[in-house]
Amino acid sequence: MRLSRRARTLAAVVAAGAVLGPVGWLWQDSLVLGSFSVMAAGEPDFGGGPAFDHHHGDRVVATVGEDPTRAPDVTVTVVARQERFRLPGGREVDGYTLNGTSPGPVIEARQGELVEVTLRNESVADGVTLHWHGIDVPNAADGVAGVTQDAVSPGDEFVYRFVAEQAGTYWYHSHQASHVQVPRGLFGAVVVRPSDVDDDATDVTDVTDVTDVTDVTDVTDVTDVTDIVALAHIFGGTRTVNGHAGDSPVAVEPGERVRVRVINTDNGPMAVWVSGSPFRVVAVDGTDVTEPGQVAGRAVLVTAGGRADLELTVPEGGARVELGGSAALVLGPPGPPTEPKPAATVDLLSYGRSAPLGFDPDAADRRFDYAIGRRLGFVRGLPGLWWSVNGQLYPDLPMFMVSEGDVVRVRISNDSGEVHPMHLHGHHMVVLARDDVAATGSPWWVDSLNVADGERYDVAFVADNPGVWMFHCHHLGHAADGFVAHLMYEGVTVPYRIGDGNEPE
């Protein structure tokens, strides 16, 4: 068949249009112009529960806070600066500091105390906030720019108030331009100790002050536990623990019981194991494990943003807590050789003894799917292979709608080809099953859950903390690429806007 020249051109134009037309439509559909409210971001998903109007709420997030008349028990002022600085270990970093250092100060409190932190931004040009990762704070104190507050501009300050209700290991970090600010230093550790423990028993030993820890080593009572914070962070391609690369000696004696509070502040999971000693995983994400068994020859996977508290008695020859194999805490005599990473990992699904959850997940009011995938498309006008949730790309990710008191179940599945550390703000989720295998160990409460490629997790929580809460991937680069969904309570309204200086990720 011979087509005329004109007919051929027309056919070519139609064919080109057929290829480019859908591409162009998808491109324009992905553009996010100006600023927007998180209340209008995403597709409302009521999870099979009753629907409600979510554009008009009576409670403004900023007012969902602690009793303003109550006097704080712990008062801390944190000054954020953008500058070149030296890590405690000597390496120079072009980034951000809190009170002149990074990591920032360890914030310590006892269970039940009201913590009041004043954040002052001295020179962070893009603005800054503090998010209390893993602490179920009231919404006003959650520290997400454009969602629960405006980013704090240079010269301004913001006051966070929350009651440290749960003893455990937590951390704080900026939630404004977090994929830039957190890797470069805007974070620190939070330790909440039980109210019934004697003060002398658990001094927090910061290995950055190795000279200061001598006074906690003269422990006479064997029931005493020495607290050690192990805040892991990769600065400039090198893993550090409390700012030190390589081996960090900790002045503890053989026979001493230690609790090592491992915190992963990076974008990917980190394996932790102990050379030279068995150990117990006594807490995960700020919740104690019920009857944790002794572990030997196994590693513990601490996901991005997650925490694990390891307890051990320092053996005669000392022990090494290996953080990913590239940094280590050396406890006591520097004797034991480095053991390679064990092939087996502690499976928290069956670790410890089962105990009541305190609610019935089978009587769920709402059931959501959180299916993570990856597909070709446009995000903010840029073509690429982007993370999708329930088949949708940013900004059409689901908005999980709940009412106060609801029992909520979520099925998180990952078929995206990569691991994702899923972080829910303001709540702890309990793992019910993985790949349809029911949990049999100690209740496994998480705020940061490692969901590997091909895995499915069933989790549940009680919606008991009204507000608007991010539910996102804590690979902060993925979050910045639009992998951010959120939980939206009935009757809550948000006066802040994302854009116009607020860039939460």
Partner 1 sequence: MRTTYTVLAYAIAVLIVVQAAAIAFALAGLGSWVQDGGVLDKALMENEEDVPGFVVGFIVHGMNGQLLIPLLALVLLVVSFFAKLDKGVALAAAVFGLVMVQVLLGMFSRGAELPLLGMVHGANALVLFTVVIVAARRARRVGESAAAQVAVSHRATV
**235 binding partner 1? (CB under 8 A):** yes
Enumerate residues 6+ apart whose C-beta is below 8 A from 400: 45, 47, 366, 368, 408, 410, 471, 485, 486, 487, 488
**269 binding partner 1? (CB under 8 A):** yes
Region of residue 256 (phi > 0: left; psi between -120 and 50: alpha; otherwise: beta): beta
CA 79/CA 428 separation, integer angstroms: 29
Q: Which range touches partner 1 (CB under 8 A), out of 102-110, 157-165, 199-207, 231-239?
A: 231-239
Residues 276 to 335: which contact partner 1 by CB under 8 A?
304, 324-326
**491 binding partner 1? (CB under 8 A):** no
**234 binding partner 1? (CB under 8 A):** yes
Torsion 254-255-256-257 (CA) sign: positive
Does the bond joining 22 to the residue before it have cis omega, within 30 degrees of 0? no
CA 160/CA 449 separation, integer angstroms: 26
CA 340/CA 241 separation, integer angstroms: 19
Residue type, 137: V
CB of 133 to partner 1, least distance (A): 16
CB of 69 to partner 1, least distance (A): 43
**412 binding partner 1? (CB under 8 A):** no
Strand order in the sheet with 131-133: 107-110, 187-193, 168-173, 131-133
**203 binding partner 1? (CB under 8 A):** no
CB of 297 to partner 1, least distance (A): 19
Question: What mask, x for binding partner 1 by CB under 8 A, covers residues 451 to 490?
Answer: -xxx--------------------x-x-------------
Binder to partner 1 among 186, 251, 270, 488 (CB under 8 A)? 270
Q: Which is nearer to partner 1, 205 or 267 (CB)?
A: 267
**497 binding partner 1? (CB under 8 A):** no
**437 binding partner 1? (CB under 8 A):** no
Question: What mask, x for binding partner 1 by CB under 8 A, covers residues 49 to 88?
Answer: ----------------------------------------
**21 binding partner 1? (CB under 8 A):** no
| CB of 266 closer than 8 Å to CB of 233 | yes
**123 binding partner 1? (CB under 8 A):** no
**337 binding partner 1? (CB under 8 A):** no
Binder to partner 1 among 7, 16, 344, 355 (CB under 8 A)? 16
**Cα-atom radius of gyration of the chain, to the nearest Å?**
24
CB of 224 to partner 1, least distance (A): 32
CA 23/CA 5 separation, integer angstroms: 27
**183 binding partner 1? (CB under 8 A):** yes
CB of 144 to partner 1, least distance (A): 20
Angle at 101 between CA 96 and CA 105, to 5 degrees: 115
Q: Which range touches partner 1 (CB under 8 A), out of 10-18, 96-104, 438-446, 484-492?
A: 10-18
Q: Which is nearer to partner 1, 267 or 277 (CB)?
A: 267
| CB of 342 closer than 8 Å to CB of 273 | yes
Taking Cα atoms as reference points, which of 146, 152, 102, 147 lies closest to residue 126?
152
Binder to partner 1 among 385, 437, 464, 495 (CB under 8 A)? 385
Q: Which is nearer to partner 1, 301 or 459 (CB)?
A: 301
Report helix, strand and coil shares of the chain as percent, to nearest 5.
10, 45, 45
Enumerate residues 6+ apart whose C-beta is below 8 A from 47: 365, 366, 367, 368, 400, 401, 402, 408
CA 472/CA 474 separation, integer angstroms: 6
Q: Which range touches partner 1 (CB under 8 A), out of 30-38, 212-220, 269-277, 284-292?
A: 269-277
Taking Cα atoms as reference points, which of 407, 412, 416 lies closest to residue 434?
412
Q: Which range touches partner 1 (CB under 8 A), out of 3-11, 38-46, 62-70, 247-255?
A: 3-11
**7 binding partner 1? (CB under 8 A):** no
CA 285/CA 169 separation, integer angstroms: 7
Taking Cα atoms as reference points, which of 266, 271, 301, 240 lies closest to residue 88?
240
CB of 206 to partner 1, least distance (A): 22
- Residues lying near partner 1 in the complex (CB under 8 A): 8-9, 11-13, 15-16, 19-20, 23, 179, 183-184, 232, 234-237, 239, 264, 266-271, 304, 324-326, 374, 383-385, 417-419, 452-454, 475, 477
